[in-house]
Every structure is written in C-alpha cells, then in structure tokens.
Structure 1
Amino acid sequence: MERYDQLYRLYDEFDTETLRAYQEFTDLFPAIDSRVALEHWQNASDELETRKDAIRGSFRATGETFADIAAHATRDQAFAALDLLNKYDRGVNVFVLDVDETLRSAGGTDNEIPRETLHLLTEFHEAGMPIVVCTGQTLENVKGFMIQGLGNEIVHSGTLSIVYEAGTGVFTPGHGSATKQLLYEDLAPEIRNVFDRVRSRILPDAPEDIRRGCHLQGNEFNVTLKPNFETGSREAKEIIDHALCYQLDLLGEAVVEELDEPHDPERAGEWTRAFYAAQDPEIRGVLETRGGLPELDTDDVPAGVVDVFERIDVAYYEADAAEIGSLELNKVVGVEGAFDVLGIDDPFALVMGDSKSDLRVMEWIAEEDAGLAAAPEHASRDVLDHVLDTDELVFDRGKATEPLRTVYALNRLADIR
C-alpha cells in the first residue's frame, strides 16, 4: 500500500494539473526565432523545474520518478498504472499501434496524429521503446505520414516496424535482408491467383456507380475499395455497401474459375454471399438491407469452394472500405514477424486499435499474457467488450495520448520497485 499512499500524497499536496500544463507547453512550444518567445519558453521551463524540485525534495527516495509521473500523467492515469503494475508485475516493452481512428481520427483530430501524441511517442523512442505501427494502409502511405510526424531518423532507427495492409507485409528499416518481408509470397499459388483475378477485374467490370464512387487502394496484395466521398458520410456508406455486394460476387467467380472441378459460375455469387453472411453479422446486415441475401445454407456451398473461402477474408468497414484479404495473413502474423526482426522475444505490449483486425492482435496478446489492450470509445463493439473485460483502457476520440500516459506512469513505477 505504500506506493498508493505516496500517489495520494503526490496528487493531494501538489498542483499537478499546473505542472502538466508547464510540461506540455515546454514540450510542444514551436521553434520560433523570437527573443520574446524564447524568454517566455525559458520562464516556463524554469517554473517547471521549480515545481519539480518541490516534489523531488518531498519524496527523497523516489522524487525524480514522482516528479516525472506528475508532469506526464493525471491522477487517474497514475493510479491506473499502479493497478496494472500490481496486476502484471512488469512494464510495457513494445507498442503495437493502429493508425486510422486510433492514433488519429477524422472526427477528432482532423485526420492528423496530434502533436502531443507524436511528442510522447518520441519520448518513448528515446527511452528505447520499440514501436510497431500496425495498419491496413499501404506501406508508402504509412511511411509518408510517419516520417512527416516522427521524423526520418526515428522511422529508420531500426526500432520501428510497419505492419502494412493488415499483415500482408512487414517493413523494418535498418535490418538488411529482413527489412521488408513480403508475407503474401508464402501463400499457395491458387490463393494468389484468386487475388490476381479479382484485382484485374475489380474496377473494369464494376457497375458505373462503383467505378465513379470508389477507388482501388494501391495495395501490394489486398483488394480494397475505398469511397470517393467523406469517410463516414451517407454517400460513403451507400457506395461501400454496394461495393461489398459486388466484391462478394466477383470473389465467388474468381474462386470457381480457379478450381479444377467444374462448378456453375452463375451460382458463385450466391455461394459467396451465403458463406460470408454466416461468418460476419455486419456483412449479413448489408446483404439483408440491399436484398441480396440468398436463401441458402452454408451446407449448400460445394466443399471445394468452402475450402478456398475459409482461407480468404472479406472485411466490411461501414462507410469506409470493403476489402478482400487472406485469413492466413493478418495483423497477428505481421506483428509476430515484426517482433522477430526487432528481437523482442518476451513481449509485453500495449496494443491500441479500433477494428476487428486489431481485436485479433488484442486476443492473441491476452492469450499469451503478453500485454494490454486499449481502444477509442468509438471502436467496434467487440473491441470495446474485450478492452472493458481486460484492463478498461478506453479513451476519448482523438485522445490516444491517454493510454500512452498511463503506460508512461506504469513504466516509471516499474523502474522503482
């Protein structure tokens, strides 16, 4: 109970809110070539040190740590960190971070990663924390905004890895021949052929409204249709719902064409819709709404077709994307590949995400007793249920720094046990 008593004293006796305000100001103050501005920054920096010195003097054995915690974490975050330390008896040694609607949010951060989040990640990097960025986006997109946000030096430091296209590839600069792992190259030829067939036809054969209303994301492997409307809008939802139905039919035709045994291609779409509707209630809901759910049971789908379907994932993200990927390749496989290259053989990770693909990583980490899960309050219901059932690290839209600050306090407390 001693640590709890010390935290109570810290947050009761000191104005930690003002302390954090000074810390944030000095951390995020822009580089301005102005004598007045620099004097303002210096005064704030001096006041910050004065307030920290008061804490250092009051907690002689742990003063530096407690001053640092108070400058970075709220009372609730600090006590949550101590609870986590008592539960797991260790700190976090790697981050696994989704980007869209997690680190950044179209509704909360103008679709940019906030400066305070980027600065805190930089602090963790300087302290030796490996970072795995785990996203459904293309490699070039992720590299671009990570270099812009964190800087070229961090991205190419050898301690940052990018799992892209939801696990089809892993990019870890600075590791020689292991820098880029094309995981999809290990798939069976017949599966790669199905994807090649779908990709070659996805836009040329599409109905006119899909050709005009969607674009094909420039993936190396996955086939992803994105709306040419604002994500989350009514128009985006309508076109993605239509695109999902079209994708399912096209996938069925590609699978039937690839199989050696003869099947009726005119029934391919029915089989695909029936199979994936049974797998995913969201897909079933779209098909029901659009009148496209066939009166078939999955037992009516030929066994050979089912065997291929069971290796291919169809993902629906409402008003955002309709995607075909591999069930043999997912974020878990990508993260394992990233850990291997980074040399993390005993991970205790903070996994942050909002979607079903992130949930797979969270569940894997939980099964291995290898970390924590955090999610924004607008995450999918299954993700929220998992996070609330584990460590309750739910944060507000656009506030990804909240769980990061909790981990900051956790790791500082772990250092002084």
Structure 2
Amino acid sequence: MKRYNQLYQLYKEFPTDTLRAYQNFVDVFPPVDSQIALEQWKTAHDEIEPRYNAIKTAFENTDAYAEIAARATREQAFTALDLHSKYGRAVNVLVLDVDETLRSAGHTDNEIPRETLALLTEFYDSGIPIVICTGQTLENVKGFMIQGLGSEIVHSGQFSIVYEAGTGVFTPNHGAETKHLLYEDLDREIVAIFDQLRSRVLQEASDELRRRCHLQGNEFNVTMKPNFEIGSEKAVEIIDDALVYEIELLGEIVAEQRSLETDPGEASEWARAFYAAEDAEIEAVLTDHDAMSEPETIPEDVLDVFERIDVAYYEGDAAEIGSLELNKVVGVEAAISVLGIDDPFALVMGDSKSDYRVMDWAAEHDAGIGAAPEHASTTVLEFVRETDDLVFDQGRSADMLRTIYALNQLATLE
C-alpha cells in the first residue's frame, strides 16, 4: 500500500508530464552541430535536474521515483506496480521480436523509432542484456541494430541475436560461443529435406510466382517474401499463393525422401491436410484457394516428418518452412546461456506464433512476462490478455518498455 500511495502522490503533486517531455527530448534528440538545436537541447537538459531533485528529496532521497516520473506515465507506473506486486522482481533480460513489434511497416515506416532505441540504451546502461529474436537473417539484423544502437552495444557481450526464428544465435564478444549454428545439430534426413526445398522452391515455381516473390537469403529456413510492399494487397495475394505452393512442394519432397511410391498430387494432399489442421490461418488460406484436403489417411512415416517441420504464415509478409526442433525458444535458451543469465526473468515482446512459444516457455518456467502489439495474432493476444494484459498500440513498443523501466525502478526499493 505504501508504494501505491507514493505513486499516487508522485503523479498528483508533481508536474510529471513536463519532466517526461524534457527527458524524452534529451533522450531522443541528442546534441547536434547546430547552434539552435544545441541551445534547445541544453535548455531542456537544464530543466531536468531541479525537477528531478525535487522529486528525489520528497521520496526518501531515492532516485527511483524521479526515474519513474521522467520516463513513465501514471498508467504505465501503476501497471508496473501491479507487475511488481505479482512477481516481486525486476526484468533482467529483454527478449524482443523486431517486425511488427519494435517497428511496424504501417506505423513507423518500418524503422525502429528513436524513442524505442533510446529506451533500449537506458536498459543496456543499467546492465540489462538485450536478445533480439527474429525470423530475419543475421546480416540484416546486425546491420540495422548497429545503425540504431551503435556498434559498441551490439558488440558489447551483453547483446545477442536469435535469427531465422531460432536456427542460429549470434552473441558477439564471446569467443568460440559467439556464433552457434543450431541447425547443424539436426537429424541428417531433416537437413536433406531442407536442402531439397531450398534448391527446388524457385526452380519449380510457376513463372508468375518467381516474378512476384523472392527467396530470403537464410542460412537454413526456406522463406518466400513478396516483391511488393509488405502488407499491401498484392503482397497478401502473392504470399498466400506462395504458402500453398510451399506446402505442396514439401509434401512431394517428404514422400520422395521416405521413398514412397505415390503420386505427387497425393503427397501434396497429405501436406495440405496436415498443416491446415495445425494452423487456422493456414487452413483459411487453403480454403480460399480451394486447396483443402481430406485424405483418408496420412502414412505414419510421413506424419513423423511433418510433425518435425513447421510451416509459418505471415500475412502479406512471408511464407516460411522451418524446423520445429529449431525455434525461438531453443534460440533464446542458447542466448541466455551464453550471456550467463542464471535466473532469467525476461520481458518477451512479439506478435506471432513463434513469439507465443517463447512467452509460453517463460510463463511455464517462471522466467518472464509476455507483451504484444494490439494487432498480434489471435493466439498471442489471447495469451497476453489472460496473463498480464500487456498489450500496446501498433508502433508504440516504447510504451511497454517504459512500463518495464518503471517496474525495474520499483524493484530497487525493496
């Protein structure tokens, strides 16, 4: 009750909106080579200290309440208090998806907002490791994270990238453990299936499909991407087509790998039926394409393989085939191990089924909390709302980071 009363007093008696505006200006717009900009930045910077000190003096001479006021709204602070009452501990690692989580094609011009980058820097400066957990390629992620956060942070030893949804982990400055190729540990038959998929997926595609999409340059996963703006009507159309095609080709290759004397069409039918039953979004796409299948049976030795291979659908963005033995959970566990976090309690932010698996893992092991944007997949939103209801507006990942920043400040008061 004491913390509740103190937060209530903080936001009632102090002009926290003004302090937060000054702090955000200083954080997001660092000094540049412009006299006018420098003067504005200095004015804002000089306004922070007396306001900060007034709050510090009023609350047991501690920095925590001033830090909360400078970076969190009243609602965010009280949400943080609820989280602290429930879990009684601070977040000690950030596990963050990128696309449609940290950034949004429709709301942030597909860039990580400067406000978000500034907050990530604050977490890093406070000793919190950052794990970027994405389906993208390693080189792509490294590039925009170095551009956003700087090479010093990315190569600090407290920053890790789980890429291609868990096929590999890159944690710079950790010697032999810097790059861990998790796909090298897979069964050779599964590797052979993926080798076949990668070599045949564009070669055997229709001329129209080849013109309208491309194969992402992954190390392992087979991912088809649209040659149109992500999320556009054309992108949705082509990724739906690519999904159906990839599923059918996978069925053919699995039947060949198992040396089954069957018609390719029947093998494709098995794959369509299996993956439709596994995912309602995939089922909807197959239904729209009149490609739903109801075979009498699927051979057991084919089922054994399908149950180890994941087909992921991201509307208007990607159709991807990966290994269920290599997912974001496996990658995150490997990253946390390399980072040396013995008792993780993570903020897991994401929007897709692969992110849900990490959230579920964290909840099952008392290792963290999940948060998601409002446009996340149904599975993710249901999970997040049923746990802590940490849902943020599209393009506003900074709002959730502010809540967790406040949680960590409250934890210092214990």
TM-score (norm 1): 0.97
Deviation at 1:31, TM superposition (A): 3.0
Q: Secondary structure at the match of 2:160?
A: strand
Q: Which residue does the alignment assign to 1:102?
A: 101
Q: Which residue does the alignment assign to 1:359?
A: 356
Tell me how far apart the structure 2 counterparts of residues 100 and 368 of structure 1 sit (CA, whole Å): 26
Kept in 1, the 8 Å contact 2:31–2:41? The answer is no
- Structure 1 stretches of 5 or more lacking a match? none
Q: Secondary structure at the match of 2:51?
A: helix
- Structure 2 stretches of 5 or more lacking a match? none
Deviation at 1:261, TM superposition (A): 4.8
Kept in 1, the 8 Å contact 2:30–2:41? The answer is no
2:19 is the counterpart of 1:22: no
Q: Of 386, 405, 409, which aligns to 1:408?
A: 405
Q: Secondary structure at the match of 1:132?
A: strand
Deviation at 1:29, TM superposition (A): 2.1
Q: Secondary structure at the match of 1:315?
A: strand
The amino acid of 1:144's aligned partner reads G
Q: Which residue does the alignment assign to 1:176?
A: 175
Q: Which residue does the alignment assign to 2:13?
A: 13
The amino acid of 2:17's aligned partner reads E
Give the number of aligned pairs.
414
Q: Secondary structure at the match of 2:169?
A: strand
TM-score (norm 2): 0.98
2:31 is the counterpart of 1:35: no
The amino acid of 1:341's aligned partner reads V
Q: Which residue does the alignment assign to 1:233?
A: 232
Deviation at 1:173, TM superposition (A): 0.5
Tell me how far apart the structure 1 counterparts of residues 7 and 199 of structure 2 sit (CA, whole Å): 60
Tell me how far apart the structure 1 counterparts of residues 249 and 26 of structure 2 sit (CA, whole Å): 55
Q: Of 362, 370, 373, which aligns to 2:370?
A: 373
Tell me how far apart the structure 2 counterparts of residues 266 and 44 of structure 1 sit (CA, whole Å): 67
Deviation at 1:342, TM superposition (A): 0.5
Q: Can you list the C-alpha shifts for 1:358-395, whole angstroms capped at 9, x where unaligned?
A: 00000010111111111000101110111111111110
- For residues 11-410 of structure 1, the aligned pairs below 5 Å read 11-62=11-62, 64-297=63-296, 300-410=297-407
Q: Secondary structure at the match of 1:101?
A: coil
The amino acid of 1:103's aligned partner reads L
Q: Secondary structure at the match of 2:399?
A: helix
Deviation at 1:33, TM superposition (A): 2.1
Deviation at 1:71, TM superposition (A): 0.3
Q: Can you list the C-alpha shifts for 1:54-94, whole angstroms capped at 9, x where unaligned?
A: 212222343x2111110010001111111111110100000
Deviation at 1:32, TM superposition (A): 2.2
The amino acid of 2:43's aligned partner reads N
Deviation at 1:40, TM superposition (A): 2.5
Tell me how far apart the structure 2 counterparts of residues 115 and 183 of structure 1 sit (CA, whole Å): 32
Q: Secondary structure at the match of 2:330?
A: helix
Q: Secondary structure at the match of 1:219?
A: coil
Query: What RMSD, in angstroms, separates the aligned Cα atoms of the two structures?
Result: 1.1
Q: Secondary structure at the match of 1:100?
A: coil
Tell me how far apart the structure 1 counterparts of residues 324 and 29 of structure 2 sit (CA, whole Å): 45
Tell me how far apart the structure 2 counterparts of residues 339 and 138 of structure 1 sit (CA, whole Å): 20
The amino acid of 2:289's aligned partner reads R
Tell me how far apart the structure 2 counterparts of residues 12 and 403 of structure 1 sit (CA, whole Å): 22
Q: Can you list the C-alpha shifts for 1:124-157, whole angstroms capped at 9, x where unaligned?
A: 1111101100000000100000000000110000
Kept in 1, the 8 Å contact 2:31–2:37? The answer is no
Q: Secondary structure at the match of 1:102?
A: coil
Tell me how far apart the structure 2 counterparts of residues 396 and 388 of structure 1 sit (CA, whole Å): 14
Q: Secondary structure at the match of 1:215?
A: strand
Q: Secondary structure at the match of 1:398?
A: coil
Tell me how far apart the structure 2 counterparts of residues 265 and 203 of structure 1 sit (CA, whole Å): 18
Tell me how far apart the structure 2 counterparts of residues 317 and 16 of structure 1 sit (CA, whole Å): 40
The amino acid of 1:369's aligned partner reads D
The amino acid of 2:28's aligned partner reads L
Structure 1 window deviating more from structure 2 (312-321 vs 26-35): it is 26-35
Q: Can you list the C-alpha shifts for 1:173-229, whole angstroms capped at 9, x where unaligned?
A: 011111111101111111000011111011111011110111000000000000111
Tell me how far apart the structure 2 counterparts of residues 184 and 67 of structure 1 sit (CA, whole Å): 47
The amino acid of 1:104's aligned partner reads R
Q: Can you list the C-alpha shifts for 1:337-363, whole angstroms capped at 9, x where unaligned?
A: 101100112100000000000000000
Q: Secondary structure at the match of 1:374?
A: strand
The amino acid of 1:179's aligned partner reads T
Kept in 1, the 8 Å contact 2:370–2:384? The answer is yes
The amino acid of 1:7's aligned partner reads L
The amino acid of 1:81's aligned partner reads A
The amino acid of 2:388's aligned partner reads D
Deviation at 1:326, TM superposition (A): 0.3
Tell me how far apart the structure 2 counterparts of residues 280 and 264 of structure 1 sit (CA, whole Å): 25
Q: Secondary structure at the match of 1:90?
A: coil
Tell me how far apart the structure 2 counterparts of residues 347 and 259 of structure 1 sit (CA, whole Å): 41
Tell me how far apart the structure 2 counterparts of residues 90 and 145 of structure 1 sit (CA, whole Å): 32
